[in-house]
């Protein structure tokens, strides 16, 4: 009588890849995209705000403090958007975003 020999499956050869760099293995958590809401703004033709309707009142902008550069990456603003901090006549400071003709707080 012939003996049956069990054929073992051939071992599977996996491609060996280089280990992942630490920046990929331990990537930081994604920041949430900042939430903005539309806000009425009257601006000069150059795009500098002069009046803002905030807290139900139209308030004069007395100073534009800064226009920080926009960094690329998760949670950043779209290309072409402008972010600026403005000081209102009552002393409050708001961060405004101007994008595609609209203003957002």
Q: Which residues contact 63 (CB under 8 A, 6 or more apart)?
A: 86, 87
Q: Which residues contact 36 (CB under 8 A, 6 or more apart)?
A: 97, 104, 105
- Mean pLDDT score of the chain: 75
Domains of the chain, residue spans:
31-104
Q: What is the pLDDT of residues 49-66, one digit of tens each?
A: 999 998 889 999 999 986
For the entire predicted model, the pTM comes to: 0.57
Q: Would you state the torsion angle of the CA atoms of residues 45, 46, 49, 50, taken in this order, to the nearest 10 degrees?
A: -60
Q: Would you state the torsion angle of the CA atoms of residues 105, 63, 79, 32, taken in this order, to the nearest 10 degrees?
A: -40
More confident residue, 5 or 36: 36
Across 22-26, 60-64, 78-82, least confident range: 22-26
How far is the C-alpha of 95 from the C-alpha of 73, rounded, in Å? 19
């Amino acid at each position: 009588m012939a003996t049956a020999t069990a054929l073992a499956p051939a071992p599977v050869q996996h491609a060996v890849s280089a280990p992942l760099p630490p920046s990929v293995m331990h990537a930081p958590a994604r920041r949430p995209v900042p939430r903005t809401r539309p806000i009425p703004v009257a601006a000069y033709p150059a795009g500098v705000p002069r009046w803002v309707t905030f807290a139900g009142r139209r308030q004069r902008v007395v100073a534009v403090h800064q226009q920080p550069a926009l960094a690329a990456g998760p949670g950043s603003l779209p290309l072409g958007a402008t972010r600026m901090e403005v000081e209102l006549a009552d002393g409050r400071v708001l961060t405004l975003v101007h994008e595609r003709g609209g203003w957002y707080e």
